[in-house]
Structure 1
């Protein structure tokens, strides 16, 4: 089969042909991949800034959809031909964190066993997955749309942590990559209209107009000018999607009394920000970290079904589709910011 492998030792990617993986666990299924996304986390992995499998070359890709082509002997909930999306994350199901409903904090499982980060993932024609991590799709959802289930499951977890998000509040989204765009769509779906999106890349801002959300689209420089010209230019709720420490630091200064900051974008581990503890005290600020998607994958399927083509049209979201062999072009386009997201079509 066709695949793109990553080697941490060399920090290199390689387009290659390897055998189709066998079902070596009776509780596993074999999925023929249809669509597989490139996440910002994948870019951090390729740069050597995010933990991943250090022991061998492996296949990246933790956001994917496909069709089951084979099932293990002990699989009971799926059959050949089922359309599915896969939750890449699972805990050990034994530790205190897992029993407390926080498998994403699990030190044995969690990120340490993630499909596409520690185990072979979806940048290939086929991938094996445990039955417990596979979700059957309703007929109303296309495989193309289902490739967005994983990022939307993380968004759903962030929404739960930050709730209530009251309609009528002033909201700022920093960063118009795919996750910022999906947050914008989710807010619009829920009735929010007083939303500003800040993004330095003008082509990404221009592309956002295709979504026809009616939100205020500005650059970070315009954001700073508005703040300088009006001391009351503040936001009740800020969703930071860039992972850029200076943007996070600036966002904190834009919070109103009682404001919430959701740190959604993944910053580099060495990144640092400066913050006034007095402001946290005096304004009663809430700073909320969001780490992957514990038990929120079913919610993402519901969100995809509710959003439909109105919000999840690839072209309107700034998503470009590539064949697997053009992985270098896909990654370069993401780094340049000419697209919001790249997705492989097998």
Structure 2
């Protein structure tokens, strides 16, 4: 018998015994080592995604772990292999899939939302979702590959080029990762973030950070770019004020890349879009090439994953971890340790 963390209803989680299922044809059983808690998981916790999440539900999709056993017809994988999971299952037949955009399949199964996720000690997934990790990469750092893949995809969707000026609105985990990936692509990057703790962390990573207190970015943008403005802005805050800031900082023919999940419609200054011929680009999820690039960036230290990990908690303390994240404060990324050793140490 193993343990799983489950979403029951809005703001209610528990941990309970779970019976692992044997891997079927084309499937692999994994032992998750570390699972990150992300903004989407918090949306689930708040009850905002009850239309998709069938309670009781095991959630979580940012993970690293090892192969335990393989099902029939699975080749190329063996027990002990270090892996992460690209948690997408598509139908291959919808218009999006036929156009080559399987990652935004119109009937997408996002594993960890629409089907059971990684916050459990044994997890069976399609072998096709596995992404190999180098043996030299510690598994706690590898748990940040998935959000790094998000950042890689976002920077690609925005078309960031060497020498461009980029503003990232929101300095949480994904915002900082976008800033680091954009910097690695040669961009001149600024991060807008109200939290003093997150500003300090971003600065420690060598990023230049603006405090949006007062809401007027005209002065720092003017000192940085003069009348030109930014070439690209990423909206990662999920707040109405963040949308305004992202639009306001853009120069002529600037690109706004929308990353955050906005649970309700927002007002947007469309006159600004008209006047400066701005472009709005949506960015959702990732494809396999994004994941493979993310593995490389975390493994070679371009993404200093260990600096983004605020806390590691055992699986049995998942409810308290969600409450800590919801409360804000000096927290960036919390990982859940699913190993037997972590549960035994917590007793």
5 Å-filtered alignment, 1:225-244, equals 226-227=218-219, 230=222, 232=227, 234-244=229-239
Tell me how far apart the structure 1 counterparts of residues 301 and 82 of structure 2 sit (CA, whole Å): 22
Structure 1 stretches of 5 or more lacking a match?
A: none
Q: Secondary structure at the match of 1:132?
A: helix
Q: Secondary structure at the match of 1:206?
A: helix
TM-score (norm 2): 0.88
TM-score (norm 1): 0.88
Residue 153, structure 1, aligned to residue 149, structure 2: yes
For residue 131 of structure 2, what is the aligned residue in structure 1?
135
1:255 Cα deviation after fit: 1.0
Q: Which stretch of the first structure deviates more once superposed, 84-93 or 298-307? A: 298-307
For residue 273 of structure 1, what is the aligned residue in structure 2?
267
Q: Which stretch of the first structure deviates more once superposed, 258-267 or 167-176? A: 167-176
Tell me how far apart the structure 2 counterparts of residues 7 and 71 of structure 1 sit (CA, whole Å): 30
Distance 1:279 1:289, change over 3 A: same
Alpha-carbon deviations, 1:135-191, whole Å to 9, x = none? Answer: 22233433223212221222222222211x222222111111100111121122223
Residue 291, structure 1, aligned to residue 284, structure 2: yes
Distance 1:154 1:313, change over 3 A: closer
For residue 6 of structure 1, what is the aligned residue in structure 2?
7
Alpha-carbon deviations, 1:312-339, whole Å to 9, x = none? Answer: 4445225322111222332233221421
Tell me how far apart the structure 1 counterparts of residues 179 and 254 of structure 2 sit (CA, whole Å): 18
Contact 2:258/2:280 (<8 A) preserved: yes
For residue 329 of structure 1, what is the aligned residue in structure 2?
320
Q: Secondary structure at the match of 1:288?
A: strand
Structure 2 stretches of 5 or more lacking a match?
A: 339-347
Distance 1:220 1:88, change over 3 A: same
1:310 Cα deviation after fit: 3.4
For residue 123 of structure 1, what is the aligned residue in structure 2?
119
Tell me how far apart the structure 2 counterparts of residues 204 and 42 of structure 1 sit (CA, whole Å): 20
5 Å-filtered alignment, 1:177-326, equals 177-192=172-187, 194-211=188-205, 213=206, 215-221=207-213, 224=216, 226-227=218-219, 230=222, 232=227, 234-268=229-263, 270-276=264-270, 278-293=271-286, 296-308=287-299, 310-326=301-317
Tell me how far apart the structure 2 counterparts of residues 85 and 324 of structure 1 sit (CA, whole Å): 18
1:309 Cα deviation after fit: 6.2
Q: Secondary structure at the match of 1:36?
A: strand
CA-atom RMSD in angstroms: 2.2
Alpha-carbon deviations, 1:179-212, whole Å to 9, x = none? Answer: 01111211222233x321111110111122332x
Q: Secondary structure at the match of 2:111?
A: coil
Q: Secondary structure at the match of 1:221?
A: coil
Q: Secondary structure at the match of 1:333?
A: helix
Contact 2:255/2:280 (<8 A) preserved: yes
Q: Which stretch of the first structure deviates more once superposed, 37-46 or 180-189? A: 180-189
Tell me how far apart the structure 1 counterparts of residues 149 and 185 of structure 2 sit (CA, whole Å): 16
Q: Secondary structure at the match of 1:265?
A: coil
1:243 Cα deviation after fit: 1.3
Contact 1:4/1:13 (<8 A) preserved: yes
For residue 344 of structure 2, what is the aligned residue in structure 1?
none
Distance 1:15 1:319, change over 3 A: same
Q: Secondary structure at the match of 1:135?
A: strand
Tell me how far apart the structure 1 counterparts of residues 129 and 306 of structure 2 sit (CA, whole Å): 29
